[in-house]
Amino acid sequence: MTTKRNKVLKIAVDGETKDLALVDLCLTSDIWVGSRAIWKPERVRDIFVTFATADAIGLSSVAGLINPIPRDLNQGLHLVLCPPGTGIQTLYAPIAPGLILPVGIAEINTMKALEVKTFPLKERLYRWMVSVNLHYVKRTQSLSGWTPKDH
């Protein structure tokens, strides 16, 4: 049996943890995202990733194309997006299979372990304080699979 540490993003709304992300998460202006698949990068404000490779498909591909982050590196990445043609760079990223779209990058920020980024959201009628935190979980691997153990 081996144990490996993996990065995870924790998202909290008004101080209460609401969700976890093992690869990426985004802040979007959409009020409902259904299956949680984001197809329109113009509606994404921020992307956070635990790791990113240039050959990925999805939102993590944006980070992988601009600044690859290996799984074992003790940091993540936070991108602030903007309309294509503005900001510091525009790139074409595979958002979904067969869907390559332009994405504008306004800021590129690294996230260290346990770093908290907080954002006031005033979308539509709701007012929330959202925070994103990069943590580690231990993954115990055996012949029967793996079980996450929060640490």
CA angle 70, 10, 95 (to 5 degrees): 55
Its domain, for residue 127, covers 2-150
Residue 148's pLDDT is what?
47
Long-range contact pairs involving 33-39 (C-beta distance under 8 Å, separation at least 24):
37/96, 38/95, 39/95, 39/96, 39/99
Residue 145: which pLDDT band, with cuts at 50, 70 and 90?
very low
Locate 6 and state its tokens: 């993996």
The full 3-state SS of 60-116, as one line of letters, equals HHHHHHHCCECCCCCEEEEEEEECCCCCCEEEEEEEECCEEEEEEEEEEEEEECCCE
Q: Is the pLDDT of residue 137 over 80?
A: no
Region 28-45: what's the mean pLDDT?
71
Place of tokens 């404000």: 45
Q: What is the pLDDT of residues 52-107, one digit of tens each?
A: 998 999 889 999 999 999 988 888 899 999 999 999 999 999 998 999 999 999 99
Residue 125 confidence (pLDDT): 40
Radius of gyration of the chain (CA): 16
Considering its fold, how many domains does the chain have in total?
1
pLDDT at 8: 85
